[in-house]
Amino acid sequence: MQYLHDVNSLVVQGMGMNLRERRRLQTARDIQMAAVTVALRNGLDQTTTEAIAIEAGISTRTFFNYYNNKQAAILGEAIRLDIKGAGWFVESSGPILDDLAKLLGQGLHEDPLDRALLLKIIAVVDANPALHDMFRTRVDETSSSISGLLETRLGSDLAIESRLLAELSTRALTEAVVAWAADETMTVDSVTVQIAANLRSVSKIMCQ
């Protein structure tokens, strides 16, 4: 599934949300669940913002307070790293692969993944290749944020290496989340562990 390589854009959320922000996030998730449900039932072409609003039990005006169109509702809100809260990563002298795994997995406790929603999004995007480019853009934004943090930590003379490692880490995150989505026995903590394992495995191969 092509989409599985882009699913990491669902994961890295800002941390330290207050009650109002959490409520807004929950409403956004409810609308997103309604959007993917309608898209799976009717097909993307036959999915309208009005149908999504009815499914979610909201007005179309409320819908547009959260999303610009049905595609955005299906993919969810843009994801970003908590840059302000990532000072520990920049200053850490610990193993960089373990720190990357911790950084990428950190937001999962503040904003837990919804397995049912994730599986539905995968199904919709797999059935509609036109959504892949939108996902790719979001993946690139996540990778760019990681790259900036890595460059700050490693130094500007390692800018290229920072970008390459950022790409690799987002892929490691992807594979870990995909494994989590497919395995109900996996916990949220397992995702972070799997990210680190994926990164170390690639590192060993590259050093051979």
User: What's residue 13's pLDDT?
Assistant: 45
pTM of structure? 0.76
CA distance 43 to 127: 9
User: What's residue 114's pLDDT?
Assistant: 85
Within a 10 A sphere around the Cβ of 44, how many other Cβ atoms? 18
pLDDT digit string (tens) for 89-109?
999 999 999 999 999 888 666
Residue 201 in this model has a pLDDT that exceeds 80: yes
CA distance 171 to 115: 19
Give the domain CATH number at 185. 1.10.357.10
Domain ranges, residue 41: 2-206
Q: In terms of pLDDT, which residue wins out, 176 or 48?
A: 48
Of these ranges, 4-13, 110-119, 120-129, the one predicted with the greatest mean pLDDT is: 120-129
Residue 134 in this model has a pLDDT that exceeds 90: no
Residue 151: partners with Cβ closer than 8 Å, 6 or more residues away: 158, 159, 162
Give the total number of structural domains in the chain. Answer: 1
Average pLDDT over residues 30-56: 96
